[in-house]
Amino acid sequence: MTPALRIACRLRPLALGLLVLAALMLRPAAATEVQRVVSPGGIEAWLVEEHAVPVIAMDFGFAGGSAQDPEGKTGLANLLSGLLDEGAGDLDSATFQKALEDNSISMSFSAGRDVFYGSLKTLTANRDEAFRLLTLAVNEPRFDAEPIERMRAQIVAGIKANEKDPEELAFDLWYEAAFPDHPYGWRKEGSEASLAAVTAADLAGLRDRMFARRDLKVAVVGDIDAKTLAPLLDEVFGRLPADPDLVAVPEITPKAGARVESEIANPQTVIRFGGVGIKRDDPDFIPAYIANHILGGGSFSSRLYDEVREKRGLAYSVYTFLAPYDHAGAFVGGVATRSDRAGEAMQLIESELKRFAAEGPTEKELAEAKSFLVGSFALRFDTSQKISAQLLAFNLDNLGIDYINKRNALIEAVTIEDVKRAAKRVFGSGGLIVATVGPLAS
C-alpha cells in the first residue's frame, strides 16, 4: 500500500471532509507572517498561524536520507520511513495504527536522497494525542519482526513492479549512469537482496545516526500559536542527541556522455536524458531555474514541447527539470516516443539543447516565463499542507525566513544576460547522459 493510501485509510470520512474544507479555506502563506519559534530547549521552527479552521500541519526534516544507506543494504532509509509509525513505545503496530485512525491523525515519513522527512496533520482537538504519538515514533520506534517483514515484502513487490515499468526503470538507469559508485546512483528502494540483509539493528542504528537536533528543520502551519508550539517541539525532539553521526557523502559531478539501454517489450521507447547542473546555493540558480522553465519546464509553453510535439508530433510530452542535491547538481529530462522515431527525437532534443545554450532565450520568452513564475507562485500556498512543505523546503535550502516575500522580486530582477549565462552553464556543457528503455534499435 502506498503512503498516500495508508494515510487516506486512517482518516475518517467526516474528519477527512473537514481537513479538505480547511485546506481550501486557508489563505496563502505569502499574505501571512512567518514567525521564528524557539523552544526552551533551543529547537527552532517556522510557524504560520491560521486560526480560521481547527487544523495543524507540521513538516520536518533531518539531514541524511538514502545517501546514508550502507553499501549492500540500500533501501535501509526507505524501509525505516515505513516503520516509524508501525509501533512505538508500549504500542504495537496494530495499537499505534488504531490510535492514529481513532483520532483522525495523519503521520508519515519518507527518505529523500539528502533528507529524511516527517509529516504530521491533525485536528486541533486531537493535538495532544497527535504530538504524543509523534514523540513515540521519533524517539521509541519498536521495529518488531512482523511489521518489518510486512513492509519489506511490500517494498520488494514494488521493486518487482518497477522493473517492468519503463518510466521507473529509465529513471533508475539514468541515475545509475550519472552517479556510478555513489549513493545518488543507488536505488532508494534498494533491491530484494539488499533488503533481505537489513536487520532491526540496522534500522535502529540508522535512526540513531540521523535523528539529531543540530540539522533539524521544522515548519508548522495552522491553529496553534508560538507559546503552545514551543514546549511541543521539546516534547517531540528534545530527547534527541545534539549532533548526528552521518557518513560523509563525497561530492560528485554527473558522468558526462554515459549511455545505457534496457530492452523490454513496450510499444514506446522511454528516454531519460540530462547532464551537469548546479546546486541550490549557486548564484546562478534562479537564472537557471528560469532558463529551464523556458527550455523544458514550462509544460505546454516550453521550447522542447513546441519542437518535439507541436511541430513534429514525436511525443505526447517532453520535459526537463533541475535536480540540485547537497553534493551534486544535475538537470534531467524525459520523453517517450515511437520506437522507430526514438533516434530522431533524441537528435532533435540534443540540437535544441545546443541551440538554447548558445543563443539563450528571446526577450519575449523571458518576459512570459517571469510572468508565469511570479503569477503561479501563490498556488504553492493554497493549503496548509503546501505551506508547511514549502516552508520546510526553504528552510532546508537555507533561503531565509523571509524568502516567501523576496522570491518574486528575485525572479523579476533576472536579466536576459543572466539567463543566457545560466543556460550556457547548464545546457551547454555537452556530453548528455542518456538512458533508453524499450525495443532496441535494429
C-alpha distances out from residue 88 to 33, 77, 265, Å? 35, 17, 45
Q: How confident is the model at residue 211 (pLDDT cuts 50, 70, 90)?
A: very high
Quick check: is 242 in a domain?
no
Residue 293 and residue 176 in one domain: no
Q: Helices (DSSP H) in 186-299: which residue ranges? A: 192-196, 200-210, 226-237, 285-292
For 22, the 3-state DSSP assignment is helix
Asked if the structure places residue 13 within a domain, the reply is yes
Domain boundary among 207, 237, 267: 237
185's enclosing H/E stretch is none
Q: Is 212 in the same domain as 303?
A: no
Q: Are residues 268 and 338 in the same domain?
A: yes
Using the predicted structure, report yes or no on whether residue 18 has a pLDDT greater than 80.
Answer: no
- Tell me, yes or no, whether 312 and 182 share the same domain: no
| 156-181 CB burial, b ≥16 within 10 A, e <16 | beebeebeebbebbbbbbbbbbbbee
| pLDDT at 441 (0 to 100) | 57
Same-domain check for residues 180 and 127 = yes
Residues 6+ apart with CB under 8 A from 283: none
Q: Are residues 139 and 232 in the same domain?
A: yes
Q: Would you list the DSSP string of 118-139?
A: EEEEEEGGGHHHHHHHHHHHHH
Q: 79's torsion region: left (phi>0), alpha (psi -120 to 50) or beta?
A: alpha
Whether 88 and 64 have beta carbons less than 8 Å apart is answered as no
Q: How confident is the model at residue 434 (pLDDT cuts 50, 70, 90)?
A: very high
Q: Does residue 321 sit in helix, strand or coil?
A: strand
Claim to verify: residue 194 and residue 272 sit in the same structural domain? no
User: Do 274 and 212 sit in the same domain of this protein?
Assistant: no
Q: For the chain, how big is the Rg over CA atoms in Å?
A: 23
Q: What average pLDDT score do residues 123-133 get?
A: 98
The CATH number of whichever domain residue 129 belongs to comes to 3.30.830.10
Q: Is the residue at 60 inside a domain?
A: yes
Average pLDDT over residues 389-396: 97
Q: pLDDT digits over 347-387, tens only?
A: 999 999 999 999 999 999 999 999 999 999 999 998 899 99
In a domain, 397, yes or no: yes
Last residue of a domain, one of 181, 203, 237: 237
- Nearest CA-CA partner of 69 in 201, 173, 186, 238: 186
Report the distance separating Cα 138 and Cα 118, nearest Å: 9
Helix (H) or strand (E) holding 223: none
Q: What range does the domain containing 136 cover?
A: 8-237
Stretch 185-214: mean pLDDT: 98
Q: Indicate the range of 184-198, 203-217, 291-305, 402-416 predicted with least confidence.
A: 291-305
Q: Is 21's pLDDT higher than 50? A: no
Question: Looking at the domain assignment, is residue 88 inside a domain?
Answer: yes
- pLDDT of residue 13 exceeding 90, the answer is no
272 and 170 in a single domain? The answer is no
Quote the DSSP letter at residue 28: P
Q: Do the domain assignments include residue 65?
A: yes
Same domain? 280 vs 198: no
Where does the pLDDT of residue 22 fall: very low under 50, low under 70, confident under 90, or very high at 90 and above? very low
Q: Could you read off the pLDDT of 155-194 as tens digits, one per residue?
A: 999 999 999 999 999 999 999 999 999 999 999 999 999 9
pLDDT tens per residue, range 240-254: 999 999 999 999 999
Is 127 in the same domain as 224? Answer: yes
Q: Which residue do the cell numbers 516552508 mark? A: 391
* Cα–Cα distance for residue pair 85/98, rounded to 1 Å: 11
- Rounded to two decimals, the pTM is 0.91
Average pLDDT for 292-317: 92
Strands (E), 329-403: 329-338
Please tell me the total count of domains within the chain. Answer: 2
Q: In this model, does residue 130 exceed pLDDT 80?
A: yes
* Predicted confidence (pLDDT) at residue 4 exceeds the cutoff of 70: no
244 inside domain: no
**Has residue 201 been placed in a domain?**
yes
pLDDT at 301: 86
Distances (CA, A) of 402 to 87, 219, 229, 370: 38, 14, 20, 20
